[in-house]
Every structure is written in structure tokens, then in C-alpha cells.
Amino acid sequence: MKSVCVFCGSSVGRDPTYLKAAVAAGEVLARAGLTVVYGGGRVGLMGALADAALGAGGRVVGVMPRALVEREIAHAALSELRVVETMHERKNLMAALSDGFLALPGGAGTLEEFFEQWTWAQLGIHAKPCGLLNVKNYFQPLLAMIERIVAEGFMAQNYFEMLLVEPSIEALLGRFKTYRPPPQKWQSPKP
């Protein structure tokens, strides 16, 4: 694993614990020698994570649509900023540049981007790990909803189990290193 794509909030949230976790994640990723790939913003948890990774000597690649760069929210001190035209291009490029996907607390955009990568993993489009950094049990209501999805028969249990969830970045990276994907969705059984 050489790079991890991180999805997280463009705001810092109400509890300083979220900001501390983003800073710690950036530092740990950098010290592990992993390139951070993210949305390219200078604000919120994403900006704090990028600053922390850069401050720890890490490489940080931002991917941002031109319209957002023009609103002056692009981080100016990144190792590399790739400017694309659309959000679809952004997500595709972030996926291509990354060996795993990590979500910290955030809003609808964080969830949408992360869920797309987790869905792609279920479909066998990629075999990269997808993990939630469960800071302050932020994702517990979401995990309960996913359990309900499984219980109601809309998702197989092994696809839920492929979602890696840990309260610390160190534990999550440890699981990334040993990750093995389940069989692809709708894969034909072997005779």
C-alpha cells in the first residue's frame, strides 16, 4: 500500500475531538510513508488532515474540480493539486490514485464518496480496503442502519464485514495491511 484516499468534513464539527483525530490521522499516514489523496481543500477536517500530513513530512495530493478552486478553497501548499472539471472526474481520479479508502467524520459528501468506493469494492471494481475511523462512535448510527439493511435482506453479511471500522487510525491501518476482499457480488459459484 502506497496511498490512502481520505474523505472527511469540510468543517471541523462541534467537538474538538474530531479535529484532533484528523490531525492524528494525517500525522500517522505521513509517518507510515503513505501518500494522502483527498479532495484538495484547505478548510475543515480535510485541511487540518492535509496540514498535519505535510507537517510530518508526508506527500499530499489534492483533487479538486475547477469551480471549487476558483472559489479559493484549494489548499495552496500541497505536494500536488490536480484540477479536474467535474465531481465525477474527481472521484474517479482519487480512486485511481489510491490503494485504500478511509472516511473520518463528515457530511453528505463524505458519505457519498465513501459509499461509492465501498459499493465498487462489493462489485469487484476494485479490491481495495474501505474503512471508517469511528471517532467518538460517530458512525454508530450508520453501522446500525447497515445492520438493518443486512437483516432485511438487502445486503449480504460478508459485504458488511468487508467494511473495516476502528476507533484509532493505527488499528485501522493495521487492518488495511491484512485486508482480503470477499468474493465479488453476484459471482457465479464454482462447480
Residue 181, pLDDT score = 86
Residue 87 lies in a domain: yes
User: Is residue 12 one of the residues assigned to a domain?
Assistant: yes
The grid coordinates of residue 1 equal 500500500
Is 189 a domain residue?
A: no
How many domains is the chain partitioned into structurally? 1
pLDDT at 70: 82
Q: Is residue 190 part of a domain?
A: no
Mention every residue, 6+ apart, whose C-beta is less than 8 A from residue 89: 65
For residues 130, 132, 99, 150, the Cα torsion angle rounded to the nearest 10 degrees is 0
Q: What is the pLDDT of residue 58?
A: 98
173 CB-side CA count, 13 A: 21
Q: CA quadruple 68, 73, 77, 78: dihedral positive or negative?
A: negative
Q: What is the pTM assigned to this prediction?
A: 0.92
CATH number at residue 36: 3.40.50.450
Residue 27 lies in a domain: yes
CA distance 176 to 129: 6
List per-block mean pLDDT (blocks of 10 residues) for the chain, which spans 191 residues. 97 97 98 98 97 98 93 91 96 97 97 96 94 98 98 94 96 95 61 44
- Tell me which residue range forms the domain holding 140: 3-177
Cα separation values, 146 from 28, 50, 86, 101, Å: 28, 30, 29, 18
| Partners of 60 in the β-ladder | 36
Residue 186 lies inside a defined structural domain of this protein = no
How far apart are alpha carbons 128 and 11 in whole angstroms?
27
Residue 98, pLDDT score? 98
Residue 76 lies in a domain: yes
In a domain, 24, yes or no: yes
Question: What per-residue confidence (pLDDT) applies to 19?
Answer: 98
Q: What burial letters (b/e) apply to 89-108, b meaning 16+ CB within 10 Å?
A: ebbeebbebbbbbbbbbbee
Question: 5 and 97 in contact (C-beta within 8 Å)?
Answer: yes
Q: Cα 49 vs. chain centroid, distance in angstroms?
A: 12
Nearest-angstrom CA–CA distance, 148 and 139 = 14
pLDDT for position 184: 66
